[in-house]
Structure 1
Amino acid sequence: MKKRAVMLLLTGVLAAGMLTGCGTVKDSDVAVTVNGTDITGDVANFYARYTQAQYETYYAGYMGEDMWTGEGQDGETYQDTVKESVRTSLENMYLMEEHMDDYEIALTDEEKAAIEEAAGEFDAANGLTEKDQVSGSRDTVERVLELLTIQSKVQAAIEAQADTEVSDEEAAQKKMQYVVFAFSTTDEEGNTVDLTDEEKEELKTTAEAFAEGAAGASDFAAYATEQGQTSQDATFDAETTTLPTQLVEAADALEEGGTTGLVEGDNGYYVARLTSLLDREATDTKKQEIVSERQQQLVNDTIDGWREDAKIDVHEGVWKKIDFTTLTVTMKQEEASPYTDEVMTDDQAEEQGEDALE
């Protein structure tokens, strides 16, 4: 599904705008050399434009027209940050291709046919000018899709070597019910208003009384309802950061069925009851997260090892020509009709909307 999604994404790329500045990238340019193998200008430009299109389609509305010139990490522009990520990804894909035989990986006839089909769809969906601006020849699109497919297969092969055994003890997730007495309220206009020191003292008295009553209640949630409060459920372990640290520490120290006293957090007072020392569903989910983390770490470590032994030469002059500020690239948006399994283009969706209005 992921591979097919990438192929469909590529078939919908459109380029618009004018190229200015330091010139266009030639297909025969060499952007990077990895262990003697050249990443040519067309591959570098097309993959960079493919990445640019994703950002401009989905994030430009939030980041504004100057998204590429805005400051990114370490004082670099956002364009510099993204382009560096693009280059690293390409270098890694070429290293994965170099090592694919280590995992007895080869593209199947079915995968090759799917790549050819997707490249053909892209070729038919875009005009000559647009394809030229993004180095989107049919051969180049096929090459990028080939690299993406190899990347997916090598990553899966590396992940398959990770340890998938996780004990309940290692992944154990406890469960609590808790009530929060917040240090802020919402006014009629929806604005957040912080309590005064006097109001906090009154709130503390209320919370302390609730804590005292909750300690002797057989049903924590029911008691909270009786007191006009709302009990919330949460699963956690000692490393949980999605809940206040003070609350996690207090609940983690309880025996099953135990209730905390008043716990002061940064944003309110809390009272909690530990309802389970091991929540089965949450623990199983945590196991999956641990396995995924191990798999990703193994992939990262493997590629880092390859990179340490690799000779990678970057041709900065070519990379400079790939400029996101001089060419706008967006995705052709498609949406499914709610009444059919067909996919509509923007124009078809607009026509259907006009028909409905008529």
Structure 2
Amino acid sequence: MKKRFLALTLAGGLMIGTLTGCSSAIKDSDVALTVGKEEVTAGVANFYARYTQAQYETYYAGILGEDMWNSEAEKGKTYEESVKDSVQKDLEDMILLEAHMKEYDVTLTDEEKAVIKKAAADFDEVNGLEEKEKVSGADTKTVERVLTLMAIREKMAGAIKAGADTEVSDEEAAQKSMQYVFFSYKNKDEEGNTTELSDDEKAAMKAQAESFAEGVKAADFETFAGEQSLEVSTATFDKEATVPTADLCKEADALAEGETTGVVETEDGCYVAKVTSLFDQSATDSKKQSIVEERKNELYTDTCKKWRKEADIEVHKNVWRKIDFNDLKVTMKMMETDPYADQAQTDDVAEGQ
């Protein structure tokens, strides 16, 4: 049985999708989590869990298979257990973020509240009573509460991240650049199928790489590679880089500009590289942005972690275990829209004039 449910998320704008499911045996008013003095009802917990479940079943079921929720996500933990743990942490964070709003002067505007209220009302209008009863928490009040928490999380995340240090020196972010040639231990046919070289073929490929590494020392890297019909790639790196490989970046990082590496062998093949610059400004500027973003994310994560550690959190396991992803299948389908609707309306107005 497939029933339609709207799931909503607020992340700068409002996106609407549909949930389809078959049954529910959870009492909405039961308490699933207690965070400080705030109680998270089973309805709120279940609806948010179903929304998260929908994302996984929509985008990963084809990869993980029909029995995805019983598949192992990590050692000793199924996907259902892993995702439910993530949902639990999300809910704890959202409650704590709401509790600390005043510290960051964060509020929801009347306009934002109106958007949330309308979204919840639209949900109620689109779905009949029978359909909504299939998913615990699928009522206007609960949907509005979930959307409010998600909206607060977005605004609080921005406020917390704003406190991160955005000053990054050239020295801290410095990036070098290289040219390199890859001698692969795999063959790919016209249909895209990949096969492993034999041990003898790998030995011959490594010998070719060694010959190239020796010959290119006294030649222009790109010209020498072209003469042998070898493809030259480029990359920017520092001592911690892992692309194209960590070992190649580490060896190249010890060289002066214009010097070449020896043969760096990996499981997939051999690399030979030439350092073309000890300071790539464009790549360094990009790295600075990456470092700032990392600092912001770390500040947000650490702040939430600190609050969770300080808070009195209780998980009501007898309620929480009733949220079972195997008993209720849920998928997401984005609402269909006419991309030409606005244009058609504009055209009609123009013709009317």
Normalised-by-shorter TM-score class: 0.7 to 0.9
Partner of 1:63: 64
Deviation at 1:268, TM superposition (A): 2.2
Range 257-266 or range 228-237, more displaced: 257-266
Equivalent residue letter for 2:50: R
CA distance in 1, matches of 2:72, 2:207: 48
- The separation in 2 between residues aligned to 1:57 and 1:201, in whole angstroms, is 45
1:76 aligned residue:
77
Deviation string, structure 1 residues 141-187 (Cα, Å, up to 9, x no partner)? 11111101111111111101111111111111111000112223235
Q: Shift of the alpha carbon at 1:234?
A: 0.9
- The corresponding residue for 1:354 is none
Deviation, 1:139, is 1.2
| TM-score, normalisation: structure 2 | 0.87
- SS at the partner of 1:332? strand
Cα 1:179–1:337, aligned 2, differ >3 Å: closer, same or farther? farther
1:322-350 residue CA offsets vs partner (Å, 9 max, x unmatched): 111111222223455565668xxxxxxxx
1-side partners of 2:196 and 2:171: how far apart? 41
User: Residue 35 and residue 170 in structure 1: after superposition, are their counterparts in 2 closer, same or farther (change >3 A)?
Assistant: same
Q: What are the equivalent positions in structure 2 for 1:57-136 lying under 5 Å apart?
A: 57-134=58-135, 135-136=137-138
Count of residue correspondences? 334
Aligned ranges for residues 145-164 of structure 1 at < 5 Å?
A: 145-164=147-166
**Any conservation in 2 of the 1:263–1:271 contact (CA below 8 Å)?**
yes
- Tell me the residue number matched to 2:14: 7
Find the aligned partners of 1:140 and 1:257 in 2 and give their Cα distance: 64
**For residues 93 and 269 of structure 1, what CA distance do their matches in structure 2 show?**
48
Q: For residues 5 and 330 of structure 1, what CA distance do their matches in structure 2 show?
A: 23
Structure 1 stretch 113-122 or stretch 310-319: which is displaced more?
113-122
**Identity across aligned pairs (percent)?**
54
Partner of 1:274: 275
Deviates more, 1:169-178 or 1:252-261: 252-261
> CA 1:84–1:196 in 2, change beyond 3 Å: closer, same or farther?
closer
Q: Which runs of 5 or more structure 1 residues have no equivalent in the other structure?
A: 343-358
| Alignment partners' CA distance in 2, 1:205 and 1:33 | 65
Distance 1:284 1:129 in 2: 56
1:303–1:246: structure 2 CA closer, same or farther, 3 Å change rule?
A: closer
Q: For each residue in 1:180-218, what CA deviation from the matched residue of structure 2 results, as whole angstroms up to 9, or x when unmatched? A: 122232356654343344334433443233223322223
1:64, 1:197 → 2: CA distance?
Answer: 35
**Residues 54-112 of structure 1: per-residue CA shift (max 9 Å, x gap):** 11111112112111122333423221111111111101110111111111111111111
Do the aligned partners of 2:35 and 2:95 also contact (CA within 8 Å) in 1?
yes
Aligned amino acid, residue 153 of structure 2: Q
Distance 2:269 2:341 in 1: 50
The Cα offsets for residues 301-324 of structure 1, whole Å up to 9 and x where unpaired, read as 211211121111111111122111
The corresponding residue for 1:173 is 175
- Tell me which residue corresponds to 1:194: 196
1:16 aligned to which of 21, 29, 45? 21
Q: Secondary structure at the match of 2:286?
A: helix
Measured after TM superposition, the shift of residue 257 of structure 1 is 1.8
> Take 2:315 and 2:49, find their aligned partners in 1: how far apart are those partners?
15
The aligned counterpart of 1:346 is none
Tell me which amino acid in the other structure corresponds to 1:170: E
Distance of aligned partners of 1:4 and 1:259 in 2 relative to their CA distance in 1, 3 Å threshold: closer
Counterpart AA for 1:14: L
Query: Does the 8 A contact of 2:177 with 2:279 survive in 1?
Result: yes
Q: What residue in structure 2 maps to residue 141 of structure 1?
A: 143
Letter in 2 for 1:7: L
Give the root-mean-square deviation of aligned CA atoms: 2.2
| Alpha-carbon distance in 2 for matches of 1:54, 1:5 | 19
Q: Is the 8 A contact 2:213 2:261 kept in 1?
A: yes
Maintained 8 Å contact 1:254/1:274 = yes
1:187-336 maps to which residues of 2 (within 5 A)? 187=189, 190-218=192-220, 220-335=221-336
Q: 1:223 to 1:47 in 2, by over 3 A?
A: same
Inter-CA distance 323–311: structure 2 relative to 1 (3 Å threshold): same
CA contact (8 A) 2:22 2:134 kept: no
With normalisation by structure 1, the TM-score equals 0.86
Amino acid in the other structure paired with 2:218: G
Say if 1:103 and 1:154, in contact at 8 Å, map to a contact too.
yes
* Greater than 4 Å deviation, 4+ residue runs: 187-191, 335-342
Amino acid at match of 2:21: A
